[in-house]
Amino acid sequence: MPRRGVGEAHGAVSIINAISTGFGGALGVDFYTRAYVEVDEGGETVLVNRDVIGDDSLVKEVVRAVSELVGAKGLGFRVTTQSDIPVAVGLKSSSSAAVAVGLAVLDALGERVDADVFLATVAEASQRSGVSITGAIDDAAACMLGGVVLTDNYGRKILRHEPVDQDLAVVILIPAEKTYTKGFRREVLTPIRDLVMEAFRIAERREYWRAMTINGLLHAAALNLPTQPIIDALSAGALGAGVSGTGPAIAAITIQENVESVSAALSKHGENIVVKRIVNPSLDGYDRRIRLG
């Protein structure tokens, strides 16, 4: 019987974009990615649905890195992924896929590793593949563990991981435009670097939504994205709002009572509005995920 495995991860939105400083923050939300793998003793890794995903370099790097981590060199995998995360809009589709594929490989091999080691390995693979500039351990951790994470991306360290109010909602404006990391010029963010670091320090004080808003306005200005959706979301009662990643998606955090008003405010700027729950860490979140299937 072929060895098979399955892995699952969520999506996330940005609190602090790490590209300019190396320090980032993200929040898990209830998008999903599911990966199914089957061991190929011949040693070739194939992304079965490449026609849907496109570039398979991330999958191959993650498979290689996670396999080597547990001493299973020379194996290949047939990989299939499913996801409801819109790609290339800043909602962490690549990080979610990297985590799901990595967990599926562990599941197929019957292996267990420490969450911090696993996430650092996925971050290295993401950076090598070119889909992430910093490795995005903040995004990967939020996608896998849920809750709020603050990270030192270049140091591959999780500085904080904790739950937030489960009754909050995330309202997201998803424009039609897309932004791909491989074509991104990080130098456009150099002028805002010090201010982004100040926003990170605000997040360290657990003022997450204020930090998210400052980060979002800074990156919208630097990336020539509209700031009005952020202002309109705040005017409608959002606790915080901002560009997620390098956009163009705008995410707003709100109490349940203001979901309709915040959604209406963002809908003035585009038709594709989605409302998502926050995903908080479960007591056995990591162990549960590697046992899927």
pLDDT > 50? residue 105: yes
**For the chain, what is the domain count?**
2
249 and 145 co-located in one domain: no
Residues 21, 190: Cα–Cα separation, whole Å: 9
CATH at residue 15 = 3.30.230.10
Residues 144, 164: Cα–Cα separation, whole Å: 16
pLDDT > 60? residue 51: no
Residue 289: predicted pLDDT = 40
Average per-residue pLDDT in the chain?
92
Output the pTM of the full model.
0.92
Residues 17, 243: Cα–Cα separation, whole Å: 9
Half-sphere exposure of 253 (CA within 13 A, CB side): 28
Q: Structural domain of residue 195, as residue ranges? A: 168-277
Name the pLDDT band for 111 (thresholds 50, 70, 90): very high
81 and 150 co-located in one domain: yes
Q: Where are the beta strands (DSSP E) in the chain?
A: 4-16, 23-40, 46-47, 76-83, 148-152, 157-162, 168-173, 240-243, 250-255, 273-277
CATH at residue 267 = 3.30.70.890
193 and 133 co-located in one domain: no
Q: What is the DSSP letter of 86?
A: P
Q: What is the DSSP letter of 280?
A: P
Residues 114, 145: Cα–Cα separation, whole Å: 13
Residues 44, 41: Cα–Cα separation, whole Å: 8
216 and 106 co-located in one domain: no
Q: What are phi and psi of 12, to 5 degrees?
A: -160, 165
90 and 178 co-located in one domain: no
108 and 246 co-located in one domain: no
200 and 244 co-located in one domain: yes
Rounded to a whole number, what is the distance in angstroms from the first to the last CA of the chain?
A: 15
Residue 288: predicted pLDDT = 36
Query: Nearest to residue 238, comparing CAs of 190, 193, 273, 197?
Result: 273
Residue 287: predicted pLDDT = 42
286 and 190 co-located in one domain: no
159 and 175 co-located in one domain: no
> Within a 10 A sphere around the Cβ of 110, how many other Cβ atoms?
10
User: Which whole number is the average pLDDT over 149-159?
Assistant: 97
152 and 11 co-located in one domain: yes
190 and 251 co-located in one domain: yes
248 and 202 co-located in one domain: yes
User: Which whole number is the average pLDDT over 1-20?
Assistant: 93
Cis peptide before 86 (omega within 30 of 0): no
